[in-house]
Chains A and B, each alone.
Chain A
Amino acid sequence: MEEFVQQLTNGLAVGSIYALIALGYTMVYGVLKLINFAHGDLFTLGAYLGLTLLTSFSLQDKMGPLAAVGLLAIMVMGLVALIGALLDRVAYKPLRDSPRLSAVVSALGASIFLQNTVMLIYGARFRVYPQDILPRTVIDFFGMPIPLMRILILLVSLAMMVALYTFIQKTRIGTAIRAAAIDQGAARLMGINVDRVILIVFMVGPALGGAAGLMVGLYYGQINFTMGWVYGLKAFTAAILGGIGNIPGAMLGGLLLGVMEALGAAYISIAWKDAIAFMVLILILIVRPKGILGERVAEKI
């Protein structure tokens, strides 16, 4: 029982990180029908920028640990959002009217570019986050010790997802995003500035991805320039699992994938962790290509 609860909470924490990243894939796909393969590298950037800001400002010495991490998260999200907007301008906007394949190739190129930029700046070795930022408190949960960090990650991610969902469902910009996702041409003719909608999507998605990167840094303590590849693929799987283009789907898919992976690793074999995730991807593509909540059949690529 204890092992199950441990793995379940671990899976939920990792899954909520997948979900945050998956939202970036799914939002961009929803509006542009493009898989932003560079999204995983924006997540990496979030982790590295977090490390830089953490070590250069030593915020944790000036304020409480929670306030420091909160401020850090805001800065990281803002910076990654700007980089996301820049990425759109440089890599995707010039290709808006080109065949979709051109944009996909551009996305792969942008991914390689970002990954190598991180490697050249920070080096190819693992970098270690300072360990004393958040207290390593362990909470007693019906006699079972659960790290506080795990619960924090889950709660903060859920809060971000709820905020995003409200933003998309209840505000006029959210309505504009949904309208543009359904029919860009009609949205333009209703006076919606679709270019601005795309820009917002390319800021909100990366901001969430950057926050996820920071969480991974704080949770696991070490980061690497290639981490965006694996996390990106997992989150992409989560987005497909939930139904690409569907925002609640990405959240559900992320949490499900995290839990399946953690339980699989515990009860089958840890060596099979990644294989399980990708088997899920293959199975979903064969059995239900539109995903759990998806209405649209996933198109090629």
Chain B
Amino acid sequence: MMALLDLNGVTKTFGGLTAVGDVSFTVEEGSVVGLIGPNGAGKTTVFNLITGNYVPNSGSILFEGRELSGMATNKIVSSGIARTFQTIRLFQKMSVVENVLAGCHCRMKSGIFSAMLRTPSQRREELAALELAMRELAFVGLAHQAENLAANLSYGNQRLLEIARALATGPKLIILDEPAGGMNPQETDQLVALIAKLKERGITVLLIEHDMSLVMRACEKLVVLEYGIKIAEGKPDAVKTDPRVIEAYLGTD
């Protein structure tokens, strides 16, 4: 079976620094994969390479068999990859539902002229987008907050809104960059449940997370990076006992 996402020998250097060196791993369709590693291991760089913010120096990134590197970010998103951010990047001054509507953008067809003339098909499309946005808000449990300003949501809810906004782009793969950052244990539990619901919907999840308890509960496979190099890959239980991983996290005597 072909993997949904296939990184092969991906390298990215910034000047003399190798942020990601010869990293290969695959994400199977319908799975939940965690990318872990100490701070500065290159996890977020890997995400930025996948979403086209950076172009790799070498190696290939295949999504459903199509090469992603060099593709414009918005094309990558419309081909079915969505992401959230380590530091929240919501459109703070827009309402909650408008944030999600911005995510619907690439799934809509009508152009500028029909938008200005407000043709019936365009109105239907706007209505459909609104329904979709409300559905995604309900999915993450924020429907009652729809008209609030994004900036006024609690930190945990802002993280959920980022997920709803990413879902509105209609992704096959969703990339979550430290989704539990700043969440309390109860919110983290809800997040684990949400990730399970994403999997039920058939959406593949790739996540970076420092919260080991979340990673161990939510992921089926882990990829461990250290200094930009992959040092381990496999089932959470196996990774947890891998001496190289323990060394990377705890150091050696």
Chain A binding surface, main DSSP class: helix
Within 8 A of B (CB), among A139-192: 163, 167, 170-176, 178-179, 182-183, 185-192
* Interfacial chain B residues near A102, Cβ < 8 Å: none
A52 within 8 A of B: no
Q: How far is the CA of A173 from the CA of B102 in the complex (A)?
A: 9
Cβ-defined contact, A191 with B91, below 8 A = no
Using CB atoms, name the residue of chain B closest to A179: B102
Residue of A nearest to B169 (CB): A191
- Does B89 touch A at the CB level, under 8 Å? yes
Which of A171, A175, A186, A189: most chain B CB closer than 10 A?
A189
Taking a contact as CB atoms closer than 8 A, the residue among B102, B115, B116, B125 that contacts A190 in the complex is B102
A residues near B165, Cβ cutoff 8 Å? 190
**Given known contacts A171-B126, A172-B115, A173-B112, is B93 in contact with A191 (CB within 8 Å)?**
no
B residues contacting the other copy or chain, number (CB 8 A): 38
Residue A200 is within 8 A (CB to CB) of chain B in the complex: yes
- Could you say which residues of chain A place their CB within 8 Å of the CB of B108? 172
Which residues of chain A come closer than 8 Å to B72, judged between CB atoms? 188, 193
Name the interface residues of B93-146: CB closer than 8 Å to any CB of A: 93-94, 98, 101-108, 110, 112, 115-116, 118, 122, 125-126, 129
Q: How far is the CB of A179 from chain B (nearest CB, A)?
A: 4
Q: Say yes or no for A3: interface residue by CB 8 A criterion.
A: no
Contact of A192 among B102, B118, B125 (CB under 8 A): B102
Known contacts A171-B115, A191-B77, A191-B78; A178 and B129 CB within 8 A of each other: no
B contact face: mostly helix, strand, loop, or mixed? helix
How many residues from A make CB contacts under 8 Å with B?
A: 26
Q: Is A295 at the interface (CB under 8 A from chain B)? A: yes
Q: Given that A170-B126, A182-B92, A194-B74 are known contacts, is A189 also in contact with B51, CB under 8 Å in the complex?
A: yes
Contact of A188 among B73, B91, B125, B166 (CB under 8 A): B73
Which residue from chain A places its CB closest to the CB of B91 in the assembled complex? A182
Given A167-B116, A182-B94, A186-B85, also A175-B51 (CB < 8 A): no
Do B93 and A175 have beta carbons less than 8 Å apart? no
User: Is B83 engaged at the interface, CB distance under 8 Å to the other chain?
Assistant: yes
Rounded to whole Å, the gap between the CB of B60 and the closest CB of chain A is 21
> Which residues of chain A have a CB within 8 Å of any CB of chain B?
163, 167, 170-176, 178-179, 182-183, 185-194, 200, 203, 295
Known: A175-B98, A178-B91, A193-B74; 7 extra A-B contacts, CB below 8 A, are A172-B125, A172-B126, A178-B94, A182-B91, A182-B92, A189-B53, A191-B74
